[in-house]
Amino acid sequence: MAGSKGSPAVDIEVGERDVRITNPDRVYFPARGETKLDLVNYYRSVSDGIVNALRDRPCMLHRFPEGVTGEKVHQKRVPQGAPPWIETVRVKFPRYNRTADELCVTEIAQIAWAVQMSTVEFHPWNSRRADVEKPDEWRIDLDPGPACPWSRVQRVAHVAHEVLDELGAVGWPKTSGGSGMHIYVRIAPEWGFKDVRRAALAFAREVERRMPDDVTTTWWRKDRDPADLFVDYNQNARDHTIASAYSVRGNPEGTVSTPIQWSEVDDVTPGDFTIATVPARYAELGDLHAGIDDAVFSIDPLLEWAQGDEKAGAEEPPDPAEAG
């Protein structure tokens, strides 16, 4: 029976390596019946894009051993016994006085191996192993409240794009795979997490000033209007991660966090992009984030905005990386 534990293992060629997939017929996504092997083949179909999104970044794995309707496991540490070609980077967690050797992707076979380990979602840091304490990616997370319509996400995305243009920054949008949208900006790895978060907060406040009826930067969820969109600057705090470009999400439909063009913002909906639809799109368009490393922005103007907000008495929200 499809999805049974008795289905025989298969060896598949992934890049330059052979990866054994056990239980290949286990159904992971019940909406259409895609299996564990289907998930491996999806990642193979977007191999350059997913590797580009994860390359050299500490990566937390969201595993679903029984498929996405079962328990989710957040795994930071690569287990003992991993193949010798699995690369890792050691990160520290000062609050807990611990370290973890996290997956550090450099090739598509490592992603296939992670799927064999029942990984569905890949959540990378916004820094790389050359210096994990210096982010090179500023993440703008447009996070809608439970009563916020998708049309509001679209409107806010356009205003965020407007502000980025005024700053001279290139934004790279993608769907979140859920109900929101992400915009990435490549930055020089010259600042720590605190400064990048301060810059992200200053940007969020500017978007809020332009759209006070749509956007909030209010820290506490209980104090937000459920119809508002939260520009979540906290995704730039240390050890905070979000699903990468081309990562599948752990829901029955197998939605995908998918890069889009700015010209598509008004036309797409979150449900458009799944493991069933993205491979053909990728074959036609390629990796829409392929040029991100060539468009590096200095956050100095945003830090000046942050200083101005702070002098004006704006409250500095608590840093979740330091919360108890």
Instruction: Give the mean pLDDT of 172-182.
Output: 97
pLDDT at 324: 45
pLDDT at 5: 54
Is residue 170 scored above 90 in pLDDT? yes
pLDDT at 187: 98
Is residue 196 scored above 90 in pLDDT? yes
Please report which confidence band the pLDDT of residue 6 belongs to, taking 50, 70 and 90 as the band edges: low
Select from 165, 156, 170 the least CA-distant residue to 207.
Answer: 156
Is the pTM of the predicted complex or chain greater than 0.75?
yes
Average pLDDT, whole number, for the chain?
95
Residues 96 and 102 sit within 8 Å (Cβ to Cβ): no
Residues 218 and 317 sit within 8 Å (Cβ to Cβ): no
pLDDT at 97: 85
Is residue 47 scored above 60 in pLDDT? yes
Neighbouring CB atoms inside 10 A of 130's CB total: 10
Is residue 235 scored above 90 in pLDDT? yes
pLDDT at 1: 36
Instruction: Give the mean pLDDT of 133-151.
Output: 98
pLDDT at 320: 79
Measure the CA–CA gap between 53 and 124, rounded to whole angstroms. 8
Is residue 3 scored above 80 in pLDDT? no
The pLDDT tens digits of the residues spanning 82-115 come to: 999 999 999 998 877 899 999 999 999 999 999 9
pLDDT at 231: 98
CA distances from 107 to 44, 168, 217, 275 (A): 11, 32, 38, 20
Name the CATH superfamily for 10-124: DNA primase, PRIM domain (3.90.920.10)
3-state SS track over 152-208:
HHHHHHHHHHHHHHHHCCCCEEEECCCCCEEEEEEECCCCCHHHHHHHHHHHHHHHH
The pLDDT tens digits of the residues spanning 278-292 come to: 999 999 999 999 999
Measure the CA–CA gap between 259 and 304, rounded to whole angstroms. 30
In the chain, what percentage of residues exceed pLDDT 70? 98
Domain boundary assignment for the chain: 10-124, 137-240+293-311
The backbone torsions φ and ψ at residue 140, rounded to the nearest 5 degrees and listed phi first, read -105, 110
Any alpha helices (H) in the chain, and if so which ranges?
36-45, 47-54, 108-116, 150-167, 193-210, 278-285, 300-311
Measure the CA–CA gap between 74 and 77, rounded to whole angstroms. 9
Judge if 10-124 and 137-240+293-311 fold alike in CATH terms. yes
305 has which bridge partners? none
Which has the higher per-residue pLDDT, 186 or 221? 186
Which has the higher per-residue pLDDT, 210 or 3? 210
Instruction: Give the mean pLDDT of 56-83.
Output: 95
Select from 106, 120, 102 the least CA-distant residue to 40.
Answer: 120
Residues 127 and 135 sit within 8 Å (Cβ to Cβ): yes
Is residue 323 scored above 90 in pLDDT? no
Please report which confidence band the pLDDT of residue 191 belongs to, taking 50, 70 and 90 as the band edges: very high
Residues 151 and 102 sit within 8 Å (Cβ to Cβ): no
Is residue 80 scored above 70 in pLDDT? yes
Three-state secondary structure call for residue 227: coil
Fold of the CATH domain 137-240+293-311: DNA primase, PRIM domain (3.90.920)
pLDDT at 86: 98
Instruction: Give the mean pLDDT of 109-132.
Output: 98
Burial class (CB in 10 A: 0-12, 13-18, 19+), 301: middle
